[in-house]
Amino acid sequence: AQSVSQHNHHVILSEAASLELGCNYSYGGTVNLFWYVQYPGQHLQLLLKYFSGDPLVKGIKGFEAEFIKSKFSFNLRKPSVQWSDTAEYFCAVNSPLYNQGGKLIFGQGTELSVKP
Amino acid sequence: DAGVIQSPRHEVTEMGQEVTLRCKPISGHNSLFWYRQTMMRGLELLIYFNNNVPIDDSGMPEDRFSAKMPNASFSTLKIQPSEPRDSAVYFCASSQGGGAYGYTFGSGTRLTVV
């Protein structure tokens, strides 16, 4: 079955540490890829997205993600995290082949806690 | 742009009561999605609409759940009768072009069924 996997359930970092959150998907063919962030008590907000072109995508707040087609991965990175990055991060995939109408399939989420 | 507007923000109801959640998508968006978020199951897609027509309701947990989109600017998600296991945060999201370019989420409705 098609799925999106985020292998890290909870990540704890100190401020200024580098971040990498993993995301893998099992869809073949063309995919559109997204990272969303959910700050405590708030709704999901789009961090960045990839449709085509340069596989290194830059988003808001210093986040970036790299699409590696051969690995079916779209990992999220940030060189230096801040306490305000404490949130839950969701990877999502849209597969035109498998998901009619453009629905997004979300991963389980990764909770990031940044210690000041 | 006011974004996706959901009401109410919080709802506490007794088991067996009918609950209606409301959503106003962003003007011009032609797709609308209802999600449920719980600690145990994460984000689950319940149903989505394209151009006011339900496309996929396979995520609706049971017949107690129903959703409508009578026009392009309004959708409801109804639970009748409600049960404690329905307690969750319900998000509505909208998008243009079927959602393939990402969604804009509303602030959610936190439902507690006691």
Q: What is the pLDDT of residues B38-49, one digit of tens each?
A: 988 889 999 999
Q: Identify the CA nearest to A8 among candidates A75, A83, A67, A63.
A: A75
B40: Cβ contacts below 8 Å, ≥ 6 apart: none
Instruction: State the pLDDT at residue B62.
Output: 86
Question: In the predicted model, is pLDDT for residue A115 greater than 90?
Answer: yes
Instruction: State the pLDDT at residue B1.
Output: 62
Q: How far is it, in rounded angstroms, from Cα A95 to Cα A32?
A: 6
Q: Which of residues 21-60 of B touch A (CB under 8 A)?
A: 31, 33, 42-43, 45, 48, 50, 55-56
Q: Which of residues 58-77 of B touch A (CB under 8 A)?
A: none
Query: Which of B9, B37, B89, B96 to mutate against chain A (most A CBs within 10 Å)?
Result: B37
Query: Torsion-angle region of residue B40: left (phi > 0), alpha (psi -120 to 50) or beta?
Result: alpha
More confident residue, B90 or A2: B90
> Which tens digit of pLDDT belongs to each residue from A69-83?
999 999 999 999 999
> Which tens digit of pLDDT belongs to each residue from A12-71?
999 999 999 999 998 778 889 999 999 998 889 999 999 989 999 999 999 999 999 999
Report chain B's mean pLDDT, rounded to a whole number.
Answer: 93
Nearest by CB to B106, from A43, A49, A106: name it. Answer: A43
Cβ contacts of B100 on chain A, cutoff 8 Å: 32, 94, 96, 102
Question: In the predicted model, is pLDDT for residue A97 greater than 70?
Answer: no
B16: Cβ contacts below 8 Å, ≥ 6 apart: B81, B82
Q: How far is it, in rounded angstroms, from Cα B54 to Cα B31?
A: 10
Instruction: State the pLDDT at residue B28.
Output: 92
